[in-house]
Amino acid sequence: MTIDVAVIPGEDAAPEAMDQVIRIIDSLDLEIAWHYPEVGAAAKEKWGTTFPDAAIQLIDQCTTTLFGSTSGPSGRALHYLRWGKQTYANVRPARWRPGFRSPLAKPQGVDFVIVRENLEDLYLSLEGELADLAPLGLTSGTAGKPPQALGTGFYALKAITEEGSARVIRYAFELARQRRARGLPGHVTLGSKWNMLPKSDGLFRDIGEAIAAEYDDVPYRAFIIDDLAHRMVADPHALDVVVMPNLYGDILSDAAAGLVGGLGLAPSGCYGNDYAYFESAHGTAPDIAGKGIINPTATLMSAGMMLEYLGLTEASRQIDVAITRIYRENRSLTPDQGGQAGTVQFADSMIQLLSATDPSTPIAR
């Protein structure tokens, strides 16, 4: 049976990566039909809106969405995929493979996953003028003044809920169990800033403790987020599943990508209870748009996560094996990984490898 997948390539250099990823996956002859909802600048010109109803309908008709990256115009579509579809767990793997250009002296064995809460925290984008807070009668716990007395400026609201924290933390524990079953360590590390923000970030930590007590087979630790940032760089081998609120997860997952070799290698999947979509963790790379050199690996690995979600496990595994080989053999790598190949050449090599890959080849770690 054909699986319908919506594709939103995004802006700047992102579509250059997406086009090649679609070509690579098509080379596997899977029963996937790609659909391209009209969103962003093209939709605006034609329909007067960046996210017309027809696009929503098409996304809803498809089983999942593969998303490039947006610099703004496809933003409403992205918001729909997150908040509209309640995809609360943003899973961002950071796994080094031979050939990945890591700055670490010993990157061998670095293999952890950040589970970032995807819908709350500062990313609700609730901002306003400090003066507007006067009627609330608030006093800063540190500055000892009401917010409107701090000066002229803006506030941003950080919201952490019990429900939102519990579901993402539970997701992290389930993922740890799955990883344990695959021979990985299978433990959870939680980070938040509970010392400065005992209510919001304190709640996140308290819920972590409560859920950890339910999963007594899954080892659990919690660190204040700055301590965790240090540990992530100083001893990344000690991490397995790492769960944190939205903003910290966004920042530290870019840092994690840097540890294993760069943003071009950082995939992600956003999972909810009954929907998931997939996008690379990097942005639209506007500085290299049109040059044909964006590294499509992050988008390809995200597509691999998508294939697994769709139950196309063997295809996902084949892609994983081919990525491991292309880097191990230093074939047709893009400039961010020290190579001279363009995006299309990289894809050509992947297609060649996929047609030659023995499916029984074990996944190298």
In this complex, which beta carbon is closest to ligand ATP, that of residue 146 or of residue 258?
A: 258
Amino acid code (one letter) for 271: Y
Give residues in contact with ligand ATP (CB under 6 A).
17, 69, 263-264, 282-285, 287-288, 294-295, 298, 336
Closest residue (Cβ) to ligand ATP? Answer: 283
Closest distance of CB 76 from ligand ATP, Å? 15
Task: Evaluate the CA torsion angle 305, 307, 310, 311 in order and state its sign.
Answer: negative
Closest distance of CB 255 from ligand ATP, Å? 11
Amino acid code (one letter) for 209: E
In this complex, which beta carbon is closest to ligand ATP, that of residue 17 or of residue 91?
A: 17
Closest distance of CB 79 from ligand ATP, Å? 14
Burial 269-285 (b: 16+ CB within 10 A, else e): bbbbeebbbbbbbbbbb
In this complex, which beta carbon is closest to ligand ATP, that of residue 17 or of residue 276?
A: 17
SS3 readout for 235-303: CHHHCCEEEECHHHHHHHHHHHHHHHCCHHHCCCEEECCCCEEEECCCCCCHHHCCCCCCCCHHHHHHH
The three-state secondary structure class of 31 is coil
Closest distance of CB 5 from ligand ATP, Å? 21
Closest distance of CB 241 from ligand ATP, Å? 22
In this complex, which beta carbon is closest to ligand ATP, that of residue 11 or of residue 308?
A: 11
In this complex, which beta carbon is closest to ligand ATP, that of residue 298 or of residue 350?
A: 298
In this complex, which beta carbon is closest to ligand ATP, that of residue 222 or of residue 265?
A: 265
Q: Rounded distance, CA 236 to CA 196, Å?
A: 25
Q: How far is residue 163 from each of residues 203, 243, 248, 256, measured CA to CA in Å?
A: 11, 15, 19, 27
Closest distance of CB 69 from ligand ATP, Å? 6
Nearest to 190 by CA among 214, 223, 166: 223
